[in-house]
Structure 1
Amino acid sequence: MSAFEVTLQQLNDLLTDDSGLYSWPTKHAHEVYPRIYVGDAFVATNLMHLKNLGITHILNAAEGNSFMHVNTNPEFYAGTGITYHGVAASDTDHFDISVYFEETADFIEKALTHKNGKGKVYVHCREGYSRSPTLVIAYLMLRKDMDVHGALATVRERREIGPNDGFLYQLCRLNHRLAVERMYCNK
């Protein structure tokens, strides 16, 4: 499969088990890549749990105060030493989460280089199932030179995830753009 030919079906196949079913996360948080954790609102609002994990940075992929969002902000983490960044993404097929790919990749990269490369970032949404893993997959593609298949497989190997088809399509578009850029840069 070339980098230009990744389909939604191929990505969905990576997300399901042998019976074709999606699995719900087995824990509130998982380390999906060294020092990058993906999880849910339960851990995001539990300061003791974050401290025990050694989290230095929080990326809220569901900032807002509706039922589908997590109502935290920089003031919520005031005095904890945790650096906060939030994006108000909605978990719907038609929401353009790709507008946040570069900014959140920059935030994750800064988090990991914090404290002489000892920073840890907790990327979350309400359930840690669609929005937050999408942003981590985009980070791995943008900053770790992974293709969409490899990045998705890396995260899925460590946590049960299920980005919606709209988000998967946007990751495929990013994959295509990066493949074209790499092709021209290598000439």
Structure 2
Amino acid sequence: MAGPYGLSVRDLNELLSEGGCYSLPSESCNEVIPRVYVGNATVAQDISKLQQLGITHVLNAAEGKSFMHVNTNAQFYEGTNITYLGIKANDTEEFNLSVFFEKAAEFIDKALAQKDGLLYLDLLGKVLVHCREGYSRSPTLVIAYLMLRQKMDVRAALSIVRQNREIGPNDGFLTQLCQLNEKLIKEGKL
């Protein structure tokens, strides 16, 4: 069902499924917008790879110990100069991820605002937003960030992330993004 602004989960699914089919991510992580990466558990747990990429912040959208989650925490990154935020989210249509949209957007904002002045070089912050596969939870949070902080509507935000990584947020998350879109339009923020 489309909201008053005409966007439905079906519309978003059509954007996601190029040629009628979804594809799983072909890389462990992708830079979806400058200095923001979406990735999976493998890259999140590979400290040397994170350092090679210049990652300064990690947002785990699947913190926890079950097979659906990624068992990392702030201690895992201790001594690496990586700032960590964990969100205990399930990849189910019933899970309300939208309660974390603002917290995640704030974390990404802070990561991108960070600068380290070393030897005349400004090393800018880079953030990895990940879940188990980098397919549903983490891209949803990055799309919400683009909507909340970059003033993109849901279609533009989803498209820009999809252009740079194969993603497939579940229908519950897509519904929450449509609701955020309507809220931001009503508030005059889009």
TM above 0.5, one fold?
A: yes
Shift in alpha-carbon separation, 1:96–1:2, aligned structure 2, 3 A: closer
- Structure-1 residue corresponding to 2:24: 24
Equivalent residue letter for 1:119: G
Aligned to 1:86: 86
Q: Are 2:170 and 1:176 aligned?
A: no
| 8 Å CA contact 1:62, 1:90 repeated in 2 | yes
Secondary structure at the aligned position of 1:182 is classed as coil
Runs (4+) off by over 4 Å: none
* Structure 2 counterpart of 1:129: 135
- Asked if the contact 1:3–1:179 (Cα under 8 Å) also holds between the matched residues in 2, the reply is no
What letter matches 2:38 in structure 1? Answer: V
SS at match of 2:115: helix
Alignment match of 1:163 (pick from 165, 169, 175): 169
TM-score (norm 1): 0.95
Q: Which position in structure 2 is the counterpart of 1:74?
A: 74
Greater share of strand: 2
Is 1:152 paired with 2:158? yes
Secondary structure at 1:58 match in 2: strand
- Once the two structures are overlaid, the 10-residue window that deviates more, 117-126 or 71-80, is 117-126
Partner of 2:8: 7
Q: Tell me if 1:40 matches 2:46.
A: no
**Matched letter for residue 144 of structure 1:** Q
State the Cα distance separating 1:5 from its structure 2 match: 1.3
Matched residue, 2:107: 107
1:162 partner letter: G
Q: Which residue identity is paired with 2:167? A: I
Q: CA-atom RMSD, angstroms?
A: 1.7
Could you give the per-residue CA deviations for residues 72-127 of structure 1, whole angstroms, max 9, x where no partner exists? 00000000000000000000000000000000000000000011681000000000
Q: Distance in 2 between matches of 1:140 and 1:85?
A: 18
1:122-144 deviation digits (Å, cap 9, x = unpaired): 00000000000000000000000
Match of 2:119 in 1: none
Supply the distance in 2 between the matched residues of 1:162 and 1:3 (Cα, whole angstroms).
Answer: 24
For structure 2, the residue ranges without an aligned partner over 5 or more in a row are 117-122
Point out where structure 1 has 5 or more consecutive residues left out of the alignment: none
* Whole-angstrom distance in 1 between the partners of 2:136 and 2:160: 15
